[in-house]
Amino acid sequence: MSVNIKDGLRESYNNHACDREKNEMQEWKMQPRQKFLELIKGENKKTLLEIGAGTGRDSRFFLDNNLQVTAADLSDEMVKLCREKGIKAYELDFFEIAKINRKFDAIWAMNCLLHVEKAKLGIVLQGINSVLEPSGLFFMGVYGGEDKEGIWEEDFYTPKRFFSFFTDINIKKVVEDYFDIISFDTIRTDRKYDFQSIIMRKK
């Protein structure tokens, strides 16, 4: 992640941390989260890392369902909100998760990897793969439907954020180099883009 993109994202999410804490979760996000939890429980997995954890809402959900949860986020304000919810949280970006120095049974990434430049997404996926236990599970949820990247000029966050989008076919091609796809669901949202909900397993 370039320094400019990283600094812009950190500042933007720091500026809007309180707003995101107050927002209610969209109902369509609950179904993939429940599906992933049931798969984790069905395989008797115990430990989960959430990357791009934001306010820690999902981390708290997994914690309340008796998983051992660790969270990581680029924004120090978001990390603070996670810790206030009793979550063990680290201020780290996508490229730094190996610094946690442990492996996990499952990794949850909801609407965060769309901030990674296309040319660098493979590096991030390899890093995620490296901190998963053998046959570990990985959820990646991103908006998509077209191939595009850059600063989102319509963004109402300040500063405006960098986003990267893939068609369904192309995001599958990228992730399949690192993981086996268990399920791929395209979910209609109230936004311009559909949501790509992908559950994978470490090869």
pLDDT tens-digit series, residues 171-183: 999 999 999 999 9
Phi, then psi, of 58 in degrees rounded to 5: -70, -40
> How far lies 165's CA from each of 15, 41, 179, 191, 198, in Å?
24, 31, 19, 14, 14
- Segment 118-146 mean pLDDT: 98
Q: How confident is the model at residue 185 (pLDDT cuts 50, 70, 90)?
A: very high
The tokens for 33 are 């989260």
pLDDT tens track for 80-112: 999 999 999 999 999 999 999 999 999 999 999
- Segment 124-140 mean pLDDT: 98
At residue 190, the pLDDT reads 78
- Domains identified in the chain and CATH numbers: 3-202 (3.40.50.150)
Tell me the pLDDT of the chain averaged across its residues.
96
Residues composing the chain:
203
- Position 48 pLDDT exceeds 90: yes
At residue 24, the pLDDT reads 87
Q: Which residue has the higher pLDDT, 23 or 115?
A: 115
At residue 1, the pLDDT reads 79
At residue 2, the pLDDT reads 85
Give yes or no for a contact between 52 and 71, defined as CB atoms under 8 angstroms apart: no
- Segment 54-61 mean pLDDT: 98
Q: How confident is the model at residue 192 (pLDDT cuts 50, 70, 90)?
A: confident
Give yes or no for a contact between 178 and 125, defined as CB atoms under 8 angstroms apart: yes
- Segment 57-69 mean pLDDT: 98
- Position 67 pLDDT exceeds 90: yes
3-state secondary structure at position 99: helix
